[in-house]
Structure 1
Amino acid sequence: MPQAAEIDLASITKRYGDDAVAVDAISLKIKAGTYCCLLGPSGCGKTSTLRMIAGHESVTSGDIRLGGVVVTDLPPARRATSMMFQSYALFPHLDLVDNVAFSLKMKGVAKAERRERALGMLKLMHMDQYASRRPAQLSGGQQQRVALARALITSPQALLLDEPLSALDPFLKVRMRAELKRLQRDLGVTFVHVTHSQEEAMALADLVVVMSNGRIEQAAAPREIFHRPATAFVASFMGEHNVLSGKVTALDEVGATLTCSGGAAFRLPAAAHLELGGPAQAAVRRDRIRIGEAAALGLGFTGHVRNVEYRGGSMKMTLDAPGVEDFTVYADEVAFDAAPHEIGQAAPLAWSLADVHVLRPSLQ
């Protein structure tokens, strides 16, 4: 079994030319044996970060440590990592055994030994019965298993995966998520997985790293990311919170009052960084909002329904009000049907102070 290694990124930066900054002085520690997902929209720097860990991109400044060893300037072959590319890049003219054994062949391992080890890896992936087939004779999910076997045969301390599920259909993605998690758990290897899918990251990761504009907005466990987003970007990107923005117009021992541009005022719980007259943002969970209920002072508003969508078991209602736009509510289907709201109607909304989360300034 390969031995997992801790990955430590110390203020690493990647620049392309003088102006383009792909990764901006990020620091991150990934504990040995962790399943880490780098999550964010296109262009946020997650793939550049992965490629720097692998050694396929040079580091402009900063250091990368793997298991306590500085590997910043080492070529990929001298790092105890293996990378699985988005395209899988299997050799079409080789059978599965020779595909998996190829890196061992390059290292000069004897044919009998490398084929035996390759068959062992195929068995681990439940692919040994297809050992004599060529890649074109496999499904997308089967090709992914072969690519994983090839990446793992060198016993890496960290496996790096560049959007490995992006080419699969939705049903197969769910199945392969379970396979990836099982494999990581059984092997205990550190996995670093790049994805733009919030659902994928939440399902797989022990550590989710949300990136934007080349910087880390938040790095935490999935439940922490979901329940307590650190910034407005995280709250909006994860898609489960509404973000209220404005200025602090009152402070007291209990909390603060946030006043939006349209004049609507909302109560916030206490937070150390809030200052009277200063900007502030807060998040309210979409599924914690009550429709049709009179709100306590500062804990709700009346908006006009702009759109209603059926989500399967729940309804998604989008509302606008002065200074509050695209405010979204997830309502139970049965409760909504008992008191439906049509587009154009006014709808009172209410929530509890316990469901308001004060955000720190975003890094954007």
Structure 2
Amino acid sequence: MSKAAEIDIVSVSKVYGTATAVDTISLKIPAGTYCCLLGPSGCGKTSTLRMIAGHEVISSGDIRLGNTVVTDFPPAKRGTAMMFQSYALFPHLDLIDNVAFSLKMKGVGKEERRAKAMAMLKLMQMDAYATRRPAQLSGGQQQRVALARALITDPEALLLDEPLSALDPFLKIRMRAELKKLQTSLGITFVHVTHSQEEAMALADLIVVMNDGRIEQAAHPRTVFERPATAFVARFMGDHNVVSGRVANSSKGFVHFDIPGGISLAAAGHAEAGAAIDIAIRTDRVRISGASAAGFGFTGVVSNIEYRGASIKLSVAGAGIDDFTVIVSDQAFDEKPVFVGEAIPLAWDSNDAIILGRLNS
């Protein structure tokens, strides 16, 4: 296998007519990293991937692969390989010829390319199916063939566009583990587009959360989960409550702020009086308890209860807070059940309230 390459995206934009799909993003993906571009539909993640691949012309900025600026290179000259969402296998060719196709285009002799294709199918545990056509395979098997076809060119980086979206939930989880194992054993850079937070958390060394053509946060999954950089990241990852207000004052290392039409809360840190502020509180760090330090809790009314097996999700509304989520264990809920319409006291520790940053507009 060829060595992995660092990918350096420098002030890259993509404009379609009057619409900006990608807005001056810069990102370094270290060599050998499993990177997930994560975000809602239309956030610019697929355009970014296609610009790295060379399937999309860059409007401004540069992309470097290793030490080479590849901005104006055609896809075949970049040292990247792309696996498309649809797999795009040739229905009339058997698996060997499907996998060997790019080598045929490069003029590699029949015996050599077929031998390489068999080796790739073996790596994917698909060698027993070598003479079958794509239509005779399951979705998971087709995906393995598409991977083999992408990897046969010996790329420095593999680019994957929503590769798991066509699979059923059980197969998704199995193929997720296969992808991670494959990336670890090959040691090459993977860049994987997904809108699934769970998929990104399970696979990535580096999660890049995109929104509206810009990067909101690029960090290790644990950092994104535990310390979201912005209100968008906190909301999109789905494991934090975001509360917005205006700063009343800062004293003794804490910011005190007021929520419009409601309560006053606090968070560790410093902010100017009168400034707008967003804070995040992990849903699983909130407890049902009247014992809370001032500014680290409120009383709300339970609006919904959702059973999730090992945990229960409570939706609570308080003064100025329409929707606040609390995740409690099934054991804690059984010991002290609550009911829709009941007023309950909520509390959290002072270090569980995080002040969020804002992207400069």
Deviation at 1:328, TM superposition (A): 0.2
Counterpart position of 2:80:
81
Kindly indicate whether residue 327 of structure 2 is the aligned counterpart of residue 330 of structure 1. Answer: yes
Counterpart amino acid of residue 335 in structure 1: A
CA RMSD of aligned residues (A): 0.9
Counterpart position of 1:172:
171
Counterpart position of 2:69:
70
Alignment of 1:97-246 (within 5 A): 97-246=96-245
Deviation at 1:292, TM superposition (A): 3.4
Whole-angstrom distance in 1 between the partners of 2:285 and 2:182:
36
The 8 Å contact of residues 217 and 363 in structure 1, kept in 2 or not, is answered as no
Whole-angstrom distance in 1 between the partners of 2:289 and 2:137:
54
Alignment of 1:204-353 (within 5 A): 204-271=203-270, 274-353=271-350
Counterpart amino acid of residue 50 in structure 2: R
Whole-angstrom distance in 2 between the partners of 1:219 and 1:283:
18
Whole-angstrom distance in 1 between the partners of 2:289 and 2:340:
15
Counterpart position of 2:6:
6
**Paired residue secondary structure (2:164):** coil
Counterpart amino acid of residue 244 in structure 2: S
Whole-angstrom distance in 2 between the partners of 1:333 and 1:347:
17
Deviation at 1:170, TM superposition (A): 0.3
Whole-angstrom distance in 2 between the partners of 1:350 and 1:125:
50
**Paired residue secondary structure (1:83):** strand
**Paired residue secondary structure (1:193):** strand
**Paired residue secondary structure (2:346):** strand
Whole-angstrom distance in 2 between the partners of 1:43 and 1:322:
34
Deviation at 1:293, TM superposition (A): 2.9
The 8 Å contact of residues 208 and 217 in structure 2, kept in 1 or not, is answered as yes
Whole-angstrom distance in 2 between the partners of 1:6 and 1:202:
21
**Paired residue secondary structure (1:230):** coil
Whole-angstrom distance in 1 between the partners of 2:338 and 2:291:
16
Give the TM-score, by structure 1 length: 0.98
Whole-angstrom distance in 2 between the partners of 1:73 and 1:336:
59
Give the TM-score, by structure 2 length: 0.99
Whole-angstrom distance in 1 between the partners of 2:69 and 2:52:
11
- Unaligned regions of 5+ residues in structure 2, if any? none
Deviations 1:187-221 (A, max 9, x none): 01100000000000000000000000000000000
The 8 Å contact of residues 233 and 362 in structure 1, kept in 2 or not, is answered as no
Count of paired positions: 361
Deviations 1:128-169 (A, max 9, x none): 111111111111000000000000000011000000000000
Whole-angstrom distance in 1 between the partners of 2:303 and 2:16:
43
Deviation at 1:362, TM superposition (A): 4.0
Deviation at 1:295, TM superposition (A): 2.1
Whole-angstrom distance in 2 between the partners of 1:336 and 1:181:
36
**Paired residue secondary structure (1:261):** coil
Deviation at 1:363, TM superposition (A): 5.6
Q: What percent of counterpart residues are identical? A: 67
Whole-angstrom distance in 1 between the partners of 2:184 and 2:121:
17
The 8 Å contact of residues 232 and 362 in structure 1, kept in 2 or not, is answered as no
Deviations 1:268-310 (A, max 9, x none): 1014xx2111111110000001113332211100001111000
The 8 Å contact of residues 253 and 270 in structure 1, kept in 2 or not, is answered as no
Deviation at 1:51, TM superposition (A): 0.3
Deviations 1:19-57 (A, max 9, x none): 200000000000000000000000000000000000011
Whole-angstrom distance in 2 between the partners of 1:353 and 1:363:
27
The 8 Å contact of residues 262 and 321 in structure 2, kept in 1 or not, is answered as no
